[in-house]
Structure 1
């Protein structure tokens, strides 16, 4: 018979118990790993930071018009065959990678003459990015306006106090033009919001076009209140 501890010795109770302990630990680790994989703990995709915002099928209902009304603008009332067209007009879509909401509003000045040739539109969109963080590309998307080779060009400036970052894009005004075009873009976590003002008034019209600075103030005020409406009680 081989001496205890020699190469030919049969394993004793201690060795057997140790093997059972190792086997139990391996089995427990396998169960734990299965649970973690099922829960997505090892997923390479980061969890979206929606900052408390939630999807709504009617962005227009959440859009604040107070700033525009204070500036004597109101949603245009269509007549005749156009009266069947909804104004404001909203739509939305929920997809795996993002939820998107739109709101288009045709506006008119309260004291405008019916003979005036003018048009004013406010276009808004809000997107909840569920798969990809929009931060790396957000700022560049707006700064790129400065590189566009268009008449007059654009100015781009950061805006403080709105979300994690925000930018204001303004088409440079031509003194002889009655048009204005201003964009406000906001990113808060993985939510992006954009509101665009586009207007034209004939130089012979009875009303005065607001300056780009006045339009920017309206857009920022509206965005502040609108984003509050889109946030839920779970906001960070």
Structure 2
């Protein structure tokens, strides 16, 4: 059967129809975008999008969706998103925060060692006793030779005013402080029968096992110079005895009938003190003055401290 006229081809390309409505907007100054028949279309703002931080805060700029991101060179502090020229990794793929953690651990270990050595971790500092030992009888360890050379001897305990032995010693051992004392009554061989005289020698020694006596040692002797009374004292350092030593002398006048001299020595954590106190009813020319007494105390202290190490 013949068909009248030509049948339409359903697969044939339809002629291009112009778009309906208003003409398209002119292309943007940047030129038409590929694939867009109307040029560049302004991007609509997403009200739910996260705001991008300004440059310089160490965050990489936003990349198109699906594109890999890379940190900005030099952005952010080292160990937190990258250091100079970095990507946040240090060494062979090790993150910078791990390097920082390792440095903190090492620093903590060093500091802990320092505290342990100085007793800052609850441990007690090691006392610097310089080889000195507790003496159960300090009088036996005391050197009496300088006083004997000056013609002084021990007063007979049966005739002295003191009760007990002469010399007399005492002491006490303690985990914190060892204490030792020696008291002696001396009499001058040159004293006359009608001359009343009294010479006392007090010695004491301490082994400090918990606290270093150095910070306070000098202050207790310098305080003599601040004495506000009719009695005046002279304080002077002494060389050649321990770490530090001080000599305290009561100033004498023309009518002085006695002398008072104190010698204090610190050697490490040991402190030693000896005091000379004398009185005479007459101005006997044979009585030693403060300068001679100071020489006797220095010599005796040096020899006594040597014995305390034996």
- Whether 1:227 aligns to 2:305 is yes
Which of 190, 196, 209 is the matching residue for 2:275? 196
- Whether 1:138 aligns to 2:217 is yes
Task: Report the CA distance between 1:85 and its aligned residue.
Answer: 2.5
What CA distance in whole angstroms lies between the structure 2 residues aligned with 1:103 and 1:81?
16
Contact 1:154 1:171 in 2 (8 A): yes
- Whether 1:123 aligns to 2:211 is no
Q: Which residues in structure 2 correspond to 1:52-67 (within 5 Å)? A: 52-67=131-146
Residue 296 (structure 2) aligns with: 218
Distance 1:227 1:176, change over 3 A: same
Unaligned runs of 5+ in 2: 1-115
Contact 1:100 1:126 in 2 (8 A): yes
Task: Report the CA distance between 1:118 and its aligned residue.
Answer: 0.7
Residue 97 (structure 1) aligns with: 176
What CA distance in whole angstroms lies between the structure 2 residues aligned with 1:158 and 1:229?
23
Distance 1:208 1:150, change over 3 A: farther
Which of 277, 287, 292 is the matching residue for 1:209? 287
1:188-209 deviation line (CA, Å, top 9, x unaligned) = 00000000000000126x5632
Which of 30, 45, 62 is the matching residue for 2:124? 45
What CA distance in whole angstroms lies between the structure 1 residues aligned with 2:261 and 2:124?
35
The higher relative CO (CA closer than 8 Å, separation ≥ 6) is in: 1
Please give the secondary structure, in 2, of the residue aligned with 1:209.
Answer: coil
Contact 1:184 1:196 in 2 (8 A): yes
TM-score (norm 2): 0.59
Contact 1:53 1:231 in 2 (8 A): yes
What CA distance in whole angstroms lies between the structure 1 residues aligned with 2:162 and 2:260?
26
- Whether 1:176 aligns to 2:255 is yes
1:121-147 deviation line (CA, Å, top 9, x unaligned) = 110000000000000000011001000
What CA distance in whole angstroms lies between the structure 2 residues aligned with 1:135 and 1:80?
41
TM-score (norm 1): 0.77
What value does the CA root-mean-square deviation take over the aligned residues?
Answer: 2.0
Distance 1:82 1:168, change over 3 A: closer
Indicate the structure with greater helix content: 1
Unaligned runs of 5+ in 1: 1-36
Point out the more displaced range, 87-96 or 189-198.
87-96
Contact 2:146 2:299 in 1 (8 A): yes
What CA distance in whole angstroms lies between the structure 2 residues aligned with 1:214 and 1:185?
17
Greater Cα radius of gyration, structure 1 or 2? 2
